[in-house]
Amino acid sequence: MRSIAVAVMLLAVAVIAQAQQPGKIFRIGFLDSSTAPGMAVLLDAFRQELSNLGWIEGKNIAIEYRFAEQKPDRLPELAADLVRLKLDLIVGTDTPSALAAKNATTNIPIVMANPGDPVSVGLVTSLARPGGNVTGFSGLANELNTKRLEILKDVVPRLARVGLLQPPGGNIATDLQLKQLRPAASALMLKLEEIETEADAKSLESAFKTGKQKQINGIMTLTTRRFFTERKRIVELAGKYRLPAVYFQREFVDEGGLMSYGADYVDLYRRAAVTSTRS
């Protein structure tokens, strides 16, 4: 089962002038909470769309990349570093990175690629009128998590216990997802086994073992960049432990996963590139 394309576009603020000024090199900051290899497919989509629009790295546009390497506490420092460079624009890929960018500047325009719920976390005032210096897109992660749970129950007839992988410690983005998923699981008469795990090989293996011990018969993850980065390993472990799973991006299916339901993230990054060049 492939993913559907679901996204909400926010009304754009003025970002980079569409008319390419001769000799002017526009400078964009790209801030992400995960890793460059894990983000390659989405970053390639972003850069390719910029190129399609006539913005070529090294010719009329320069991109400063900052990756937190799965350490969200580094994002404020990385965002401050980008602000010191006095860039024309900052792209914040997910909720933590977009929040870090917003907290670092009220002057530099910020384009969000795919935060889950930009209103609830305080990134924008509303989807229709974002206000401030932030614009972009939302992948509707919170709402679609509930639908993913419903789909998993439809596909697995005797589903009773669902293992939910989540990062340890929690943050505002994951807390909002849990706030929706817990009552949804109860309404579906499912036991939600919440399993905290880091996104490294040893921790993920341990998380799946814990799930089997808890007698789960299905699995899903919260929508986070760290799990997307480790999608191949997660899909392999789901197969190893014979657990049907539903994922939040089609790239999991591309790695051999059973099914996905969610926004087309490649398209979101293409659209983020378009918004970054639109006046």
Range of the domain at 178: 141-260
Q: What does the pLDDT look like over 149-173, one tens digit per residue?
A: 999 999 998 999 999 999 998 777 8
My answer on whether 53 and 164 are in the same domain is no
Number of domains comprising the chain: 2
Q: For residue range 163-210, what is the model confidence (pLDDT) as tens digits? A: 999 999 877 788 889 999 999 999 999 999 999 999 999 999 999 999
Express as a percent the part of the chain with pLDDT over 90. Answer: 68
pLDDT at 18: 43
DSSP alpha helix (H) spans, 30-169:
40-52, 75-84, 95-104, 141-155
User: Has residue 196 been placed in a domain?
Assistant: yes
Indicate whether 62 pLDDT > 90: yes
Whether residues 164 and 176 fall in one domain: yes
Q: From start to end of the chain, where are the E strands?
A: 8-9, 26-32, 61-67, 89-92, 110-112, 134-138, 161-166, 191-196, 219-221, 246-247, 259-260
- Identify the pLDDT of residue 265: 86
Task: Report the CATH number that the domain containing residue 170 is assigned in CATH.
Answer: 3.40.50.2300
